[in-house]
Structure 1
Amino acid sequence: MKSLILVMTLILFSTFQVFACDCECTGDCSFSSISNNSEFVALIKVISYDDYLDDEIMGYEGKMPYSMTVEIIKKYKGKETRNTIKIWGDNGAKCRPYISNFKIGEHYLIAPNLLRVYKLKGEKSIDYDFFSCNTDYLKVDIEKQKAYGEYTKIKTEIELKEFEEKLMI
Structure 2
Amino acid sequence: MKKQVLIIFLLLISMKSFACSCECNWNCRFGAISDNQEFVALIKVIEYSDFLEEETYGYDGKMPYSMTVEVVKKYKGSESRKRFKVWGDNGILCRPYITEFEVGKYYLIAPSKIENDLDDEQNGDYDFFSCWNDYLKVDYDKKIAYGEYSWWRKEITLEKFEQKLEK
Q: TM-score, normalised by structure 1?
A: 0.92
Partner of 1:49: 48
Whether 1:89 and 2:100 are equivalent positions in the alignment is: no
1:41-66 deviation digits (Å, cap 9, x = unpaired): 00000001110011222222111100
> 1:18: Cα distance to partner?
1.1
Partner of 1:102: 101
Partner of 2:126: 128
Partner of 1:14: 13
Between the aligned residues of both structures, percent identity stands at: 54
SS of alignment partner, residue 50 of structure 1: strand
> 1:12: Cα distance to partner?
3.2
SS of alignment partner, residue 51 of structure 1: strand
Partner of 1:33: 32
> 1:11: Cα distance to partner?
3.0
Range that drifts further, 10-19 or 138-147: 10-19
SS of alignment partner, residue 48 of structure 1: strand
Cα distance in 2 for residues equivalent to 1:90 and 1:13: 18
Cα distance in 2 for residues equivalent to 1:72 and 1:96: 21
Partner of 2:152: 154
Cα distance in 2 for residues equivalent to 1:158 and 1:103: 20
Which residue identity lines up with residue 145 of structure 2 in the other structure? A
> 1:147: Cα distance to partner?
0.3
Contact 1:36 1:168 in 2 (8 A): no
Q: TM-score, normalised by structure 2?
A: 0.93
Superposition RMSD on alpha carbons, in Å?
1.6
> Which of 132, 135, 138 pairs up with 1:137?
135
Cα distance in 1 for residues equivalent to 2:74 and 2:52: 30
> 1:105: Cα distance to partner?
0.7
> 1:3: Cα distance to partner?
6.6
> 1:6: Cα distance to partner?
5.9
Cα distance in 1 for residues equivalent to 2:157 and 2:104: 20
Partner of 1:65: 64
Contact 1:50 1:65 in 2 (8 A): yes
**Structure 1 regions of 5+ residues with no counterpart?**
none
Which residue identity lines up with residue 57 of structure 2 in the other structure? M
Contact 1:41 1:111 in 2 (8 A): yes
**Structure 2 regions of 5+ residues with no counterpart?**
none
Cα distance in 2 for residues equivalent to 1:77 and 1:123: 23
Which residue identity lines up with residue 46 of structure 1 in the other structure? V
Instruction: Tell me the number of residue pairs that the alignment of Structure 1 and Structure 2 aligns.
Output: 167
